Each structure stands twice: as structure tokens, then as C-alpha cells.
Structure 1
């Protein structure tokens, strides 16, 4: 059973998380450990037509809830907070610059940041999908620091060579890139040929 951690923080872009969870949850051999910060939930409510709770959010994206284990973002004693709990991939989507900065600084003020720290210390795959514009020098230095320590950073900025027709096409380009990094084959976007 593949175990994947997904953290949602207060950056704009909860739609990316929704689509990622939708497709990840369809993989029956995958157990998803989900944590959403308080600011992440606020953005989910704001960005998704007044959805008021996480269960409605997951249902709206047709997430297979049977494959999801939800962890309170304040529970630093959750199994996923330990390196001895074998997680294959850690994905923070979207990642706020505050979250990026704290992980880069080795600071864990919540479970999402702790899982980022665990991924780095255990040399496991950490994918950070950040959503911010413009970036200042501090943001860039923090992203570089994470990259130098093994994290993979993906800006939530899709390409256009696949001739997207809808917002969903743009989102699936980024989601497809995440699955590529996870070594999971999908056909979510048209590849360059």
C-alpha cells in the first residue's frame, strides 16, 4: 500500500488540491493522509463557492473518501509526524510562502510543516506546489534552500503548449506534472511531441 501525505495550506489555489485528491484517491493501492491548516480551510471556503467544511470540499471534487485519512493540523503526535511511519510521497498543495519559509528554516508549527521536515530528514520525496506572485528574494532563497535539500518545487503556473481550452485543462497540467514526479502514469494532459 502506497502512503501519500497531502497538506493544504493557506495559499490560494485549493482547486489544485481538489483535483489532485480526486485523481489520487482513485488509485486503490494508495492511502492518503490529509492535513489542512486553518488558513487552508478558510481558503477552501472562500474559493469554492461557500463550501463550509472539508467533507463538502472532498465530495465536490468526487474524492474517494474511503482512501483518505484526515489528520488535525494541530496534532503533532499523529502517526505521519514520525519518520518511522513510512510515507512514499509528501505533497503540499498549495504551499503558502509562510509554510515554505518555516520548512526551509526547520520550524514545525503545525503538522503540515512537521511532515515537510520529516520528508527532508528521511530523504523522502517532498513536492511543494507553491502559489505566490510576485516572489521576493526571501521567497526565492527559501525555495532554493528546499531544493538544495531534496525538495521538488513546482510553481502553480501551467504551460500553454497543450492548447488548453478550460481552466480544468490548466489545472490538470500541473496535477499531471505532480504524478510524473511520483512515477505514476496518467493521461491528464497532452504531452509535447
Structure 2
């Protein structure tokens, strides 16, 4: 029996905004969720460009890296390579009930929408769709072309949730981390995990009227 409250698949692809993924992974670990992680080659390039993190090359090394970085429990973070076809996420009998692609590149969006399944990330998303499980895609692009919008509509009709990395400002952010937390809080709420990153809309009004 698992020592963790639930399992979530997190795929990190090559769109800008890897900060969202790292923060989400941190929050999932803190919530005692086991996370199956996949990182595309493009995501590794983006990580080196947008952060000071130096990701090691192999999946086993990345697993140790994130476990140490986030003080995760043993086996809480499992990293799978792009062609590790025997990974649990590759089959409906083993995949978690929720998958998040964050950030989701428009190339990954297209591949998922067409069922390409050319790598483990695409296959895992295909499994989530065919098994009618929760699939959350977090694109970060501007502007969107007709191709992007058609793929989003197609995936929405299949049951996926399109959650763009578009932070709001009603929480009066003071720093970039506050903007990151806004988007991560929305993802956590979709998954059904309690979060304290930011208050929900109207909560301050309810509290002040008590």
C-alpha cells in the first residue's frame, strides 16, 4: 500500500515558464503526493536558460536531484525518460488519475491532440484521455495561432482542461513568485489539493463579514 495520499503525473515540456513546474512539484511534495515526472529535452534547455538549476543528464540522477532539492521522501519523486515504455504512466492499469503538463509547449499540445505518442509524455497524455482521467495542460504562448486554438478546443472536447499560465493581479502581487503562485494555486485547486498560496476569490470578503 502506498505511503502517499495520491499520485500525480507531471510532464515538463519546452515552453517558457519552467518556474511553474518547479513550484508545482514543490507543492505536491509538501502535500505528500507521489509525483511521476517526465522532462523533455527542450524543457532541459529552457530550465538552463530561465533558472540557475543545473539538471543532470539521466533520469536516475534527476530523481536524486529533485529529491534532495525539495527534501522529498524516498520514492516520492520518480523520474522517467522519454522512451521508458515500461513506466506506469504508459498504461491505463498503472497511470495516476491525474496528469499535468506544465508548462505545455504548443508542439506538445499538437502531439497530444493528434494522439502522436512518439515519446512517454505524449503516450501518458494519450492514456489519460483514453481512460477518461484528469488531464491538465498549462500552455504559455502569446499570441495563439488558429492551430493552437483548434488544438485547445479539440482537447477540451475530449475532456482535458486547458489552464493557460495567465496570472491574475487581484491578489496584488509583490514579486514574480506571487505571479507563479497564482497559476500553481489554480492547478492545485483543479487537482483537488488544498493550497495556501493565495486566497480564493471572495474569501477576504467572507472573513471580514464574520
CA–CA distance in 2 between the matches of 1:64 and 1:52? 17
Flag the 1:5–1:52 CA change in 2: closer, same or farther, 3 A: closer
Deviation at 1:41, TM superposition (A): 1.1
Give the CA RMSD over aligned residues.
1.8
Name which of 158, 162, 165 aligns with 1:149: 158
CA–CA distance in 1 between the matches of 2:101 and 2:70? 20
CA–CA distance in 2 between the matches of 1:89 and 1:63? 23
CA–CA distance in 2 between the matches of 1:131 and 1:94? 6
Matching residue of 1:24 = 28
CA–CA distance in 1 between the matches of 2:64 and 2:95? 29
Question: Which ranges in structure 1 are unaligned for 5 or more consecutive residues?
Answer: none
TM-score by length of 1: 0.93
Matching residue of 2:80 = 71
Number of residues of Structure 1 aligned to a counterpart in Structure 2: 192
1:143-175 superposed Cα distances (whole Å, 9 cap, x missing partner): 110000000011101000111111111111111
For the residue of structure 1 that corresponds to 2:118, the secondary structure is: coil
CA–CA distance in 1 between the matches of 2:103 and 2:111? 15
For the residue of structure 1 that corresponds to 2:93, the secondary structure is: coil
Flag the 1:60–1:19 CA change in 2: closer, same or farther, 3 A: farther
Within 5 Å, give how 1:112-123 maps onto structure 2: 112-123=121-132
For the residue of structure 1 that corresponds to 2:116, the secondary structure is: coil
Deviation at 1:86, TM superposition (A): 4.1
CA–CA distance in 2 between the matches of 1:156 and 1:103? 18
CA–CA distance in 2 between the matches of 1:156 and 1:65? 29
Q: Is the 8 A contact 2:88 2:95 kept in 1?
A: no
Question: Which ranges in structure 2 are unaligned for 5 or more consecutive residues?
Answer: 57-61, 203-210
The reply to whether residue 62 of structure 1 matches residue 70 of structure 2 is yes
Matching residue of 1:191 = 200
Matching residue of 1:37 = 40
Name which of 93, 96, 105 aligns with 1:84: 93
Flag the 1:168–1:69 CA change in 2: closer, same or farther, 3 A: same
Deviation at 1:61, TM superposition (A): 5.8
Name which of 171, 182, 190 aligns with 1:173: 182
1:66-117 superposed Cα distances (whole Å, 9 cap, x missing partner): 3101101222232210011141210000110000001101111111111110
The reply to whether residue 10 of structure 1 matches residue 19 of structure 2 is no
Flag the 1:63–1:35 CA change in 2: closer, same or farther, 3 A: farther
